[in-house]
Amino acid sequence: ILIVGNYCHDTIITRSSRTDTLGGSAGYLVNVLDALGVESEVISKVGPDFAYRSRVSHPPVVVERSATTHFVADYTGAEDEDRVLRAVKVCDPIVSSDFGRARRSRYGIGLAAGVAGEILPEALERIIKLCDRVIVDLQALIRLIDPVTRVVKYRKLEDTEFYGMLDRVSFVKAAQSEAKYIDLENARQKTCVIVTNGDKGSTVYIKSKEYHVPAFPASELDPTGAGDSFLGGFTAGLYRGLSVEKAVVVGNYFGALAVSHVGIP
């Protein structure tokens, strides 16, 4: 499995604590795949300030002139409000030449798992060419960072260069809060769309069919990385030959484990 996306520094603020931890979709994905004994490779960039080299089993490329992407996730707002996510630092994007570091000429599954716009159209093109099946986390394609406030915002997928690539992608995973930025009825004709919705479970949309997979019960301490851990479990399930529905069950299981911990379990 080829994972493409930058490792991050995460600062997680709740009403009771402030925690600095390893972050980034790649960190959560590798954590799940390593636990299940599924072989993976990571293409990721960090700055020389990266604080978690000893914690990652797949070393990133260190960009000397840059800094590691750093997110601050603030959960101290009202209970009915979403977290406020700020990207206070952003590392360099991943470009075509970075794939020269890939150890293989083909991969069974490729994961476009960017968090701060580091997946460029040229990078997704390379993932598609290298991998038999491609799974995209919607956030990798639609996130924008306000240049003044540094708050993470979103754009509609249809307004990006990525939209024309959907029919060459096997799966798109979107959190419920992100799903409004994709034309679901059109997208499901091109690819399989999976929408995750926390303790309400996940829904799979493909062509004219859709079905719901219930969540596992969990005591939530920190929702950060739940979607990434879902994606790791789902990908591992597909890799092991499970049906899409059963792979979603595995994804839901690892998503529930993730919210029971602060940071990466």
Cα distance between residue 65 and residue 261, in whole Å: 33
What is the tally of structural domains in the chain?
1
**pLDDT value for 221:** 65
Q: How far apart are CA 94 and CA 100, in angstroms?
A: 11
Please report the pLDDT score of residue 216 as a whole number.
Answer: 86
- Which CATH number covers residue 214? 3.40.1190.20
188 in any annotated domain: yes
| Domain-embedded: residue 214 | yes
For the chain, the straight-line distance linking the first and the last C-alpha, in angstroms and rounded, comes to 21
- 1-19 pLDDT, tens per residue? 999 999 999 999 988 889 9
pLDDT of 80 strictly over 60: no
Residue 265 within any structural domain of the chain: no
Asked if residue 56 belongs to a domain, the reply is yes
Domain range for 36 is 2-260
Residue 182 pLDDT exceeds 60:
yes
Has 228 been annotated as catalytic? yes
Q: Span 51-57, mean pLDDT?
A: 93
Taking Cα atoms as reference points, which of 45, 47, 50 lies closest to residue 60? 45
Arithmetic mean of pLDDT, 18-43: 94
Q: Is the pLDDT of residue 79 over 70?
A: no
Q: What does the pLDDT read at residue 22? A: 93
Whether residue 67 contacts residue 49, with contact meaning beta carbons closer than 8 Å, is answered with yes
- At residue 42, the pLDDT reads 97
The pLDDT assigned to 222 comes to 64
Cα dihedral 117, 228, 14, 256 in deg (nearest 10):
160
What is the per-residue pLDDT for 164? 95
Query: Is 128 within 8 Å of 40 (Cβ atoms)?
Result: no
Range with the lowest mean pLDDT among 12-21, 31-40, 135-144? 12-21
Task: Label residue 146 exposed, middle or buried (CB < 10 Å: 0-12, 13-18, 19+).
Answer: exposed
230 falls within a domain: yes
> Cβ neighbours of residue 86 under 8 Å, at least 6 residues apart?
71, 72, 74, 149, 150, 151, 152
pTM: 0.93
Average confidence score pLDDT of the chain: 93
Active-site residue, from 10, 98, 222, 228: 228
> CB-side exposure of 101: number of CA atoms within 13 Å?
18
Tell me, yes or no, whether 181 lies in a domain: yes
Is 34 domain-assigned?
yes
Please tell me the predicted confidence (pLDDT) of residue 176: 93
Is residue 226 domain-resident? yes
What pLDDT does residue 83 have? 79
Euclidean distance between CA atoms 66 and 96, whole angstroms: 18
The per-residue pLDDT for 78 is 60
Task: Write the DSSP symbol of residue 94.
Answer: B
Residue 69 confidence (pLDDT): 98
**pLDDT band (50, 70, 90) for residue 63:** very high
Q: Radius of gyration (Cα) for the chain, nearest Å?
A: 17
pLDDT digits (tens, 9 = 90+) for 193-252: 999 998 899 999 999 999 999 998 877 766 677 889 999 999 999 999 999 999 999 999
